[in-house]
Amino acid sequence: MSGIYIHIPFCKQACYYCDFHFSTSLKKKNDLINALIKEIVLRKQEITEPIQTIYFGGGTPSILSTDELQFLLDTIYENYSVSDNPEITLEANPDDLDTEKIIALSKTPINRLSIGVQSFFNDDLKFMHRAHNANEAINALKTATKYFKNITIDLIYGIPNLSVEKWKKNLQTAFDLGVNHISSYALTLEIKTALYQLIKSKKYPPLDENLALEHFNILVTETKRQNFIHYETSNFGKEGFFSKHNTAYWQGKNYLGIGPSAHSFNGKQRSWNVNNNTKYIKAIREDHIPQEIEILSQNDLFNEAVMIGLRTIWGISITEITKKFGKEKANYLKEKSKKHLKNGTLKIHKKQLLATQKGKFLIDGIASDLFCV
């Protein structure tokens, strides 16, 4: 199984918490799209097996017209072997999804929408400097669910002044609108973001990890009541609606990243494109892929297997660790896991090392404690 990720580095405005690569200027949009097209063609030899997932991320891919998105998809189909029924996801913001746009998208091969709702409350959206309002989010979902069966939304928790009651209302609104997948993340503080500067200058209140934990536990409880499966630390889906593209990441499958800042993985090495639109466009025009490459050591691969394994319901197979990395690494993992098994943040079930409910919120720290250095 292989996938293609296409990074669309444009946004209408900068959200205060975001540290992804994007530009709020659309001056280079046409040049960028042409560069994406060319990179798709230049790299077609890198993946020979059928493409089963295509993911438009960003940035805000819904800024592109349906014709521009179709142009990119046509190029993929012309240059790669694509499976009969691929999962094709478009990240979209609610303010881009009027009825006309949704209907137009439904007539393309795109069959999954990932809508960046973040909150159904206007004060939260203003706090995060989102471009849409709550009514736009609700109206977009009401229309989108008529034309798309497979829809996921993003929700952020741990927002200062987001009460438990409001957080529960956010979740209930999503349930009532018929959403079948939720990706939910704690608001985090990244150094290069506007939010970091606002909190540092005391213009915004600091983040509260205890509040985030309370929200997380409510999220786990309420989604379970609605028959969602907590299949990855930040992802909750009903049966048959797990993200195939992201699941492939977590299972260590190959993927190709197209566009500025996009990452690729082929099982042995990871590469990433330059995170500068001008440099990216110039390099592609000169038939050069502007990327850095990291050859992954056995320790790197082991650590990735630990990290992504513990984040999912499938956990880490001790048997697979032994096959891939040998008995020494497997014994190391068992030894390092003992204290976490003792304190109840990890458990072993049928030779799978898994995070407990107590451990899920702390999983990044637990995983790093098990790394080989």
Query: 156-169 burial by CB neighbour count: b if 16+ within 10 A, else e?
Result: bbbbeebeeebbee
265 bridge partner residues: 255, 270
For 48, half-sphere exposure in the C-beta direction (CA atoms, 13 angstrom radius) is 1
pLDDT of 208 reads 93
pTM: 0.95
- Average pLDDT of the residues in 304-332: 95
Alpha helices by DSSP H, 187-239: 194-200, 209-225
Q: What backbone torsions phi and psi does residue 58 show, to the nearest 5 degrees?
A: -175, -155
DSSP-derived letter for residue 109 is S
DSSP-derived letter for residue 344 is T
Which of 70, 150, 72 has its CA nearest to residue 107?
A: 70
- Average pLDDT of the residues in 235-254: 95
- CATH 3.20.20.70 is held by the domain 2-249: yes
Domain extent listing, the chain: 2-249, 298-369
What are the Cα distances from residue 238, in Å, to 68, 137, 191, 243? 31, 21, 35, 10
Task: Render pLDDT for 91-137 as a digit per residue (tens, 0 to 9).
Answer: 999 999 999 999 999 999 999 999 999 999 999 999 999 999 999 99
Q: Which of 16-25, 164-173, 261-270, 282-291 is least confident? A: 16-25
Angle at 311 between CA 309 and CA 317, to 5 degrees: 25
Amino acid identity of residue 15, one-letter, is C
Q: Is the pLDDT of residue 348 over 80?
A: yes
- 8 A C-beta contact, residue 75 and residue 40: yes
- Average pLDDT of the residues in 136-161: 97
pLDDT of 141 reads 98
Q: Which fold has domain 298-369?
A: Arc Repressor Mutant, subunit A (1.10.10)
**Percent over 90 (pLDDT), the chain:** 90
pLDDT band for position 373 (cuts 50, 70, 90): confident
Place of tokens 């992504």: 308
Which helix H or strand E contains 7, and what residues bound it? strand 2-8
Q: Where are the beta strands (DSSP E) in 134-276?
A: 150-157, 181-186, 229-232, 235-237, 254-258, 263-265, 269-273
Question: Radius of gyration over alpha carbons of the chain, in Å?
Answer: 21
* Entry field: residues in the chain: 373
pLDDT band for position 293 (cuts 50, 70, 90): very high
- 8 A C-beta contact, residue 65 and residue 26: no
Amino acid identity of residue 71, one-letter, is F
Q: What backbone torsions phi and psi does residue 140 show, to the nearest 5 degrees?
A: -60, -40
pLDDT of 21 reads 87
92 bridge partner residues: 115
